[in-house]
Chains A and B, each alone.
Chain A
Amino acid sequence: MVEGMEQVIGRLVADAAPVRRLRPPILRAVLWLVAVAAIAAVAILWFSNLEIFARRAEDPRLAVELAGTLLTGIAAVIAAFELSLPDRSGRWSLLPLPPLALWIASSGYGCYRHWLRFGPEGWAIGESAHCFVFILGASVPLAISLVILLRIAHPLSPLRVAAVGGLGVAGIAAFLLQFFHPFDVTLMDLGIHAAAVAIVVAVTAAAGGRRTA
C-alpha cells in the first residue's frame, strides 16, 4: 500500500462519526407521497369543484389519463429514491415508462377526439396558459422537497436521479391539474402540457443534478 493510501485511510477513520442509516427507499418514497397527498387533499377540498370533476371523471378516457398521470408520478418517485442509492440497478429508471405511455396515449386520444368534434378549431389554444402556470407552480415546491430528500443519499448519478424525480413531480402536478381544469385538451394544450412537463424535468435535473461535495 502506498504512503498516500495510508494517509487517506487514516483521515477517513479519524472522520468516522456514527451515521444514521437511510430508511428503505420505498418507505421514504411512500412517506413523501403521503405528505404530498395530504396537502393536495386539503387544496382539492377547498379550491376545486368536485361536482364538475365527478361529471368529467365518468368519461373513461379521462379516468385512464388520471391513472396514467398518477401512476407515472408514483412510479417515478419510487424509482428516483431507488436510483439514489449506489447499489440499485439502473433499470429502475424504466419503471415509470409504462404509465407514461398510458398518459401520453390517453392525452393524445383525447385531443384527437376533440379535433374530430371541433375540426380546425381543435388546434386553438384552449386553457393552456392556466395549465402551464399550474403545472410549473405546483411543481416548484414538490421538486424542491423531493430533490432535498434525494440528495441526502449523495447519488452517484445525480442527473439521472433528478430527471426521474422531475418526471414524478410533473406526473403528480398533471394529475392534480385535472381537479382544477374542467376542460378537454386541444392539441395545442397537449403540446403546452408536454412543454411544461419537459421544463419541470429539465429544471429539476439542472438544479438537482449536480454532484454533492
Chain B
Amino acid sequence: MVPGDPSEDATRGEEWSRWMAAAQDGDRAAYERLLRDIVPFIRAVVFRQHRAADGIDEVVQDVLLTVHKVRHTYDPARPFKHWLAMIARRRSIDVLRRRSRRHAHEIADDAAYETFADPAANRHLEMRAAAEGLGEALASLPAQQREAVELLKLREMSLAQASKVSGRSVAALKVSVHRAIKSLRKQMVESWRG
C-alpha cells in the first residue's frame, strides 16, 4: 500500500473491513487476501515505533497472530485500519519493553576480556568463550529441535504461538525442546572439558 492519497486509503480501509467481516463468517479466501494485504501497513506502523528494521518481521508476525486471536472483537461498523493500527502499536510496545528488559540485564564489560589471577574467575571467561560455540551447537541440532529452541527460547513465544507458527502440536514442541536442551547441554559440557 502506498500511503498518501486519502481517498485511496479510505477505500482500502473499507475493503479490508469487508474482507474481515467475511473472514469472521469463515471465508478463508477473503481472510488470506486480507492478511497478505495488511502486512505492509503493519510493517509501517511497527517501523514507526521501532525506528529500526532489525527484528521487524518478528513483531509483524506477532501482530498477525494477535489479529487472528482477537478477530472476533472487530465490529464491521467501525474503521478497520484504526483497529489494526491499535493492535500493531500495542504489540510493538510490548515487544520493545520485552527487549529493553532483556537488554537491561546485559552489560558490556571490557574487563571481561582480561585474564584474572584467580582461576575461578577465569572460568567465567572460559564459559563466555564457550557460549560463542553455542551457535554452532544449535546449528548441529536436527531441524525440528532447532525450530523448537528458536521459537520457544530465542523468540520467547508461548507454546500456543509456537505451535501455530510451526504447525506442530504443543506436546511435540515440548519433546523437541527438551531433547534439544539435553543435546546442547551434552555438547557444551564436552566442549568445556576440551
Contacts and interface: CB of A to CB of B under 8 A. Distances in A.
Contacts of A5: 39, 57, 60-61, 64
A interface, over-half SS: loop
B82 A87 contact: yes
Contacts of B83: 86-87
A103 to B, nearest CB: 31
Contacts, number: 93
B115 interface: no
Interface stretch (B1-9, B127-135, B161-169): B161-169
A12 B70 CA distance: 12
B37 to A, nearest CB: 11
A149 interface: no
Contact of A21 (B64, B65, B74): B74
Interface residues of B, number: 39
Given A86-B70, A86-B87, A12 B64 contact: yes
A12 B65 contact: yes
B172 interface: no
Given A87-B83, A156-B87, A8 B24 contact: no
Interface in B46-101: 57, 60-61, 64-66, 68-76, 78-79, 82-83, 86-87, 90-91
Nearest to A19: B72
B32 A13 contact: yes
Given A5-B61, A17-B26, A20-B72, 4 more contacts: A12-B64, A13-B31, A15-B68, A24-B75
